A and B are shown apart, each in its own frame.
Chain A
Amino acid sequence: MQPEPKIQFSIKVDLAALAPTAERIRYFLCEHGVDADAIYAIEIVIEEIATNTIKYGFGNYGFVSPAKGNITLTTTVTEARAELLIEDDGPPFDPTQAPDPIQHRDVDEMPVGGLGIHLVRTLTDGFEYKRVNHHNQVRVWVHRKKE
C-alpha cells in the first residue's frame, strides 16, 4: 500500500510567511488531484487559523520581526479527503469553541471582525482541536469531490 501523500512546513511567526506557504500547499494539493473547492477551503484555514496564532497567540501584529515560536503545517491527501494539521507552541487556544457571529440584516449592526473562525467552520467538513505536549493542534479536513 502506498503511503498517503504528505507535505510539511515549519514557518516563522510572521504574517509574511503565510502566503508563500499557502501557495506551496496549493501546488501540492493540485498535484494530487484535489478539487478547487477543497483547495480553497484549505487556503482559508491557513489564512484564518495561522493568522490568529501569529497575532493573538504570539502577539505579532507586524510584518518585520518574527516573534519567537514555531508553527508547523502538515497537509495530507487521502482518497476521501484533504487534511491540514496546524501545530504551534503558543499559549492554549481552542478555536473550535469560538462562538459563531450573530447574523445581521443591517450593515450598521454587523461586527467588523470575528468572521475568520466562522469561515473555517462553514467551509470545512471537520474541525478539531487538541492540546498535546504544550502544543495547540488544530486539524481540519475537507471531503474531495468524486469524479
Chain B
Amino acid sequence: MSAELNLIEEAETHTTIALTGSMDVVGAGAIENKFIGYTVARKKHALVDMSGVEFLGSMGIRVFVSTAKALLRDQKKLVLFAAKPPIEKTLIMSGFNSVVPVVATLADAKGKLGL
C-alpha cells in the first residue's frame, strides 16, 4: 500500500489536505513532491488529516519536519490532526509533537492556528 494525497479545502489562509496509506520509505518518497506543492509552495498554513494513514516511519516524519521548517520561513505552520493511535504514538515517541501540533480534530487544528 503506497501513500496518497487529496486536497480537502483551499482557503485564503490555509490548505487542508488528507493523507492515506503507508508513509513508509516508498510511500513518503512517492508523495513528497506533491506534499510540498500543496503546502510549502502555497505559503499558507497547512492542516493535514492523518485519519487515513496506516503506517508512519521515519521517512514520513522527515517529510513533515522539512515541510514545517520551510513553512516557518514564511511565518506559516503545519498542523496534523486525527492520527490513529499507533501513528500518534510514533509522532510522540519521535518528539515530533513537541515542535509541531498534533491534535485530535480539524476544529482543534484550526484552533491552533486561530482560524
- Chain A interface residues (CB < 8 Å from chain B): 15-16, 18-19, 22, 36-37, 40, 43-44, 47-48, 51, 63, 101, 103-108, 110-113, 115-116, 118-119, 122-123
Interface size class of B (residues with CB under 8 A): 20 to 34
CB pair B65–A108 under 8 Å, yes or no, is no
Q: Are B26 and A112 in contact (CB under 8 A)?
A: no
Which residues of B lie under 8 Å from residue A18 when comparing CB positions?
24-26
A122 and B57 within 8 A (CB):
no
Closest to A63 in B: B26
Establish whether residues A47 and B98, one from each chain, have CB atoms under 8 Å apart when the complex forms.
no
The answer on a CB contact under 8 Å between A108 and B93 is: no
What is the minimal beta-carbon distance from B90 to any residue of chain A, in angstroms?
7
Contacts of A110 in B (CB 8 A): 65, 69, 95-96, 99
Q: How far is the CA of A16 from the CA of B90 in the complex (A)?
A: 22
Contact B98–A19 (Cβ < 8 Å): no
B26:A44 contact, CB within 8 angstroms = no
Question: In the complex, what distance in Å separates the CA atom of A22 from the CA atom of B98?
Answer: 29
Could you tell me the distance between the alpha carbons of A139 and B8 in the complex, rounded to whole angstroms? 42
Known pairs A19-B24, A63-B26; list 17 more (Cβ under 8 Å): A16-B26, A19-B1, A19-B22, A19-B26, A36-B86, A40-B55, A43-B55, A44-B57, A47-B59, A103-B98, A106-B99, A107-B68, A107-B99, A107-B100, A108-B72, A115-B94, A115-B95
Tell yes or no: B58 within 8 A of A by CB. yes
Residue pair A104, B99 in contact (C-beta under 8 Å): yes
Q: Is the interface of A mostly helix, strand, loop or mixed?
A: helix
Q: How far is the CA of A116 from the CA of B68 in the complex (A)?
A: 19
- Shortest Cβ gap from B39 to chain A (Å): 14
For chain B residues 59-107, which have a beta carbon within 8 Å of chain A?
A: 59, 61-62, 65-66, 68-69, 72, 86, 89-90, 93-96, 98-100
Q: Report which of A36, A48, A63, A101 forms a contact with B95, defined as CB distance below 8 A.
A: A101
CB distance from B81 to the nearest CB of A (A): 17
Interface centre among B22, B55, B95, B98 (most CB of A within 10 A): B95
Cβ–Cβ < 8 Å partners of B98 in chain A: 103-105
Closest to A103 in B: B95
